Structure 1
Amino acid sequence: MTSPTTGSASPVAAGAAPYDALLLFSFGGPDEPDDIMPFLRNVTAGKGIPDARLAQVAEHYEHVGGRSPINGQNLALLAALRAELARRGIDLPVVWGNRNWAPYTRDALVELGELGATRVLAVVTSAYSSYSGCRQYREDLALTVGALEEELDRELGIRFDKVRSYFNHPGFVEGNTDAVVAAFEQLRASGADLSATPLVFVTHSIPDTMEEASGAARPSYREQHLDVAAVVAEQAGARLGVELTWSLAYCSRSGPPSQPWLEPDVNDALRELSVAGTSGVVLAPIGFVSDHMEVVYDLDTEALETARELGLTAVRAATVGTHPAFVAGIVDLVLERAAAERGETPERAVVGRLGAVADVCLPGCCRQRAGVDSGVPALCGRD
Structure 2
Amino acid sequence: MTVRSSHCGEPYLDGTLPPMRRSVAAQRSRIFLNMILAVGIGAGASGCGVAYTIVKSESKLDRLAVPMTKAQIIEEIGRPDRVLRDDGRLLVWEYSLTARKQWLYELALCPISVWIGGCLFYPFTNIAADQQREYPHHVVMVNEELCAWGPPAAILQRRKACVATGVQAVQAVNGRFEPVVTGNGPIDRENIDRYRTMAVMLFEDAAGARGSGSRVTGIVTTLMLDLDIHMVERAKLDEVLKEQVIQLTHADDANVLKVGRLVGAQAIIVGEVQQWERRPQDRMHSVSLALRMIDVETGLLLFNGEGHLTDPTTDDPEGSARLIVHRILTRFGAQTGLLGSGRIGVNWELLEERGTRFYLVRELRTGLPGEKAGLKVGDRIVACNGASLATARNERDAKRLCHVDAGEILELEVRRTDEPLHLMVTADKRPGL
> TM-score scaled by structure 2?
0.26
Structure with greater helix percent: 1
Structure with greater strand percent: 2
Q: Answer 1 or 2: higher relative contact order, Cα 8 Å, separation at least 6.
A: 1
> TM-score scaled by structure 1?
0.29
